[in-house]
């Protein structure tokens, strides 16, 4: 059987030092780092493309991001510099304070964390954010300065940020991690140039990247680990596994018992896999709306497209991006694009009653993607940062996990995934 190789050479000889599972940003960053240090590396990727949850589509003649969209807070963000190197031409995002101003909030820079500081509800591990906020809101309802509209905005913001409902998020840890600073950047050339940069570096240093090669099992093999893919068995002393949390939770990839330690096993079940989906819409005629974020309190947070971003200035096209998150996204998973567009248009017409039908649409369905099975990880009620630490450490079997769900400082992001890949490579090199 001939496998589609992105790198050079054929996969016949068994002389690998490291097998990397998954060619998302974490796997490719690990592979590039290891190969440049002289390790013999092979990357096995299930799908027919690189990048995983960084996925750029150019069918409309411009880069449309189906997965990651922004480089969040570029100051100190380790993805910002490589993105520039990849020729991504990061430009400041147009969202700025527009969305907040529409809601009458005086300070356009007011963000979730500032709101938390202003309204410090009790954080309790194992208590859902929904309950913590309810208790807090009940307590302060009578107090001067209570801003119910702001509370409602904040409630829906979290669902979009974490891809989970407030009764699913842990009130203590839901936003645990380091803060990034600066306005978000968009990558005009397409986000996928970033994983391509790492893939090119890995290949130049001699790594093999093999597409359409789903791993079905990881087994013990004496002092080596065995990886089964497409009926072939590969072995190496180190395996870096970047399978998304949803895939790990599904049990679709078999691990020999003892390969994953008890704390990491527990972590896989304890953390949650959230969901964020996108509906891109395109019109041929100019639209009667301002560029930037739009949202309406007349639309429930669970309605499809309750938030959307109109980006003619970014793209030169009459294009809008609507988001479905949490429960709304889950209810639409597996449904047709026609249904998804109809749901979004219903919400958009609450804000813009005369909005014409779009001429084109492109919808994501990350929950139905068998190689992702969700959007990104979140702190489910009862989960803790120790869960991510348990996944970030080398397992006693030699297996090393990487991926956004294993990063304690910046989970659920591209820079967190990138950092986890670099960390995994360092562990393997020790």
Tell me which residues touch ligand FAD (CB under 6 A): 21-27, 44-47, 52-54, 67-70, 72, 214-215, 242-244, 247, 253, 276, 278, 366, 371-372, 375-376, 403-404, 412-415, 417
Would you say 202 and 28 are in contact if contact means Cβ atoms under 8 Å apart?
Answer: yes
At closest approach, how far in Å is the CB of 415 from ligand FAD? 6
Strand locations in 34-188 (E): 41-44, 56-57, 64-65, 70-71, 90-92, 185-187
At closest approach, how far in Å is the CB of 375 from ligand FAD? 4
Distance from the Cα of residue 253 to its chain's centroid: 21
In 39-147, alpha helices (H): 80-85, 98-102, 112-118, 129-140
Name which of 227 and 287 has its Cβ closer to ligand FAD.
227
Give the phi and the psi of residue 57 in degrees, each rounded to 5.
Answer: -110, 135
**In 3D, which of 205, 187, 173 has the Cα closest to residue 77?**
187
Name which of 54 and 328 has its Cβ closer to ligand FAD.
54
- Neighbouring CB atoms inside 10 A of 356's CB total 11
At closest approach, how far in Å is the CB of 76 from ligand FAD? 14
CA dist list (Å): 99 to 109, 135, 293, 308, 380: 10, 27, 5, 10, 28
Name which of 133 and 278 has its Cβ closer to ligand FAD.
278
Would you say 99 and 292 are in contact if contact means Cβ atoms under 8 Å apart?
Answer: yes
Tokens, residue 379? 């702190």
At closest approach, how far in Å is the CB of 296 from ligand FAD? 22
Would you say 378 and 274 are in contact if contact means Cβ atoms under 8 Å apart?
Answer: yes
Name which of 33 and 47 has its Cβ closer to ligand FAD.
47
Structure letter (DSSP) for residue 428: H
Distance CA(130)–CA(155), nearest Å, equals 9
DSSP string, 279-321: EEEEESS--SS-SEEEE-TTS-TTSTTSEEEE-HHHHSSEEEE
At closest approach, how far in Å is the CB of 179 from ligand FAD? 14
At closest approach, how far in Å is the CB of 109 from ligand FAD? 19
At closest approach, how far in Å is the CB of 181 from ligand FAD? 14
Name which of 3 and 140 has its Cβ closer to ligand FAD.
3
At closest approach, how far in Å is the CB of 370 from ligand FAD? 7
Name which of 67 and 305 has its Cβ closer to ligand FAD.
67
Distance CA(145)–CA(115), nearest Å, equals 13
At closest approach, how far in Å is the CB of 22 from ligand FAD? 3
Name which of 187 and 299 has its Cβ closer to ligand FAD.
187
Helix (H) or strand (E) holding 425: helix 414-429
Name which of 47 and 287 has its Cβ closer to ligand FAD.
47
Name which of 244 and 343 has its Cβ closer to ligand FAD.
244
């Amino acid at each position: 059987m001939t496998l589609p190789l992105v790198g050079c050479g054929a996969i016949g000889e068994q002389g690998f030092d490291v097998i990397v599972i998954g060619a998302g940003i974490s796997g490719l960053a690990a592979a590039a780092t290891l190969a440049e240090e002289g390790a013999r590396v092979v990357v096995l990727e299930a799908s027919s493309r690189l990048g995983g949850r960084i996925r750029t589509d150019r069918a409309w003649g411009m880069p449309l991001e189906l997965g990651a969209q922004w480089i969040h807070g570029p100051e100190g963000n380790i993805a910002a510099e490589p993105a520039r190197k990849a020729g991504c031409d990061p430009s400041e995002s147009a969202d700025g304070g527009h969305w907040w101003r529409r809601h009458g909030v005086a300070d356009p820079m007011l963000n979730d964390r500032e709101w938390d500081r202003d309204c410090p509800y009790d954080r309790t591990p194992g208590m859902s954010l929904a309950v913590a906020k309810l208790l807090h809101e009940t307590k302060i309802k009578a107090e001067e300065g209570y801003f119910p509209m702001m509370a409602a905005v904040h409630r829906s913001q979290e669902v979009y940020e974490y891809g989970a409902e407030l009764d699913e998020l842990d009130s203590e840890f839901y936003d645990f991690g380091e803060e990034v600073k600066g306005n978000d950047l968009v990558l005009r050339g397409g986000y996928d140039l970033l994983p391509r940069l790492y893939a090119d570096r890995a290949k130049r240093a001699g790594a093999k990247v093999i597409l359409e090669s789903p791993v079905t099992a990881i087994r013990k093999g004496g002092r080596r680990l065995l990886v089964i893919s497409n009926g072939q068995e590969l072995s190496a002393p180190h395996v870096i596994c970047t399978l998304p949390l949803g895939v790990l939770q599904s049990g679709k990839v078999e691990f020999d018992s003892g390969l994953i330690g008890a704390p990491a096993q527990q972590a896989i079940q304890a953390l949650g896999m959230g969901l964020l989906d996108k509906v891109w819409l395109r019109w041929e005629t100019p639209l009667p709306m301002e560029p930037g974020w739009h949202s309406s309190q007349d639309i429930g947070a669970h309605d499809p497209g309750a938030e959307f971003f109109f980006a003619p200035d970014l793209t030169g096209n009459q294009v809008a991006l609507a988001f479905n998150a949490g429960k709304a996204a889950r209810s639409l998973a597996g449904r047709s694009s026609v249904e998804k567009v109809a749901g979004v248009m219903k919400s958009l017409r609450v804000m813009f009653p005369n909005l014409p039908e779009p001429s084109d649409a492109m919808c994501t369905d990350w929950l139905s993607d068998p190689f992702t099975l969700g959007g990104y990880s979140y702190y489910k009620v009862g989960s803790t940062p120790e869960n991510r630490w348990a996944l970030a450490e080398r397992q006693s079997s030699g297996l090393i996990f990487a991926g956004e769900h294993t990063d304690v400082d910046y989970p659920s992001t591209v820079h967190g995934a990138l950092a986890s890949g670099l960390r995994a490579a360092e562990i393997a090199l020790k």
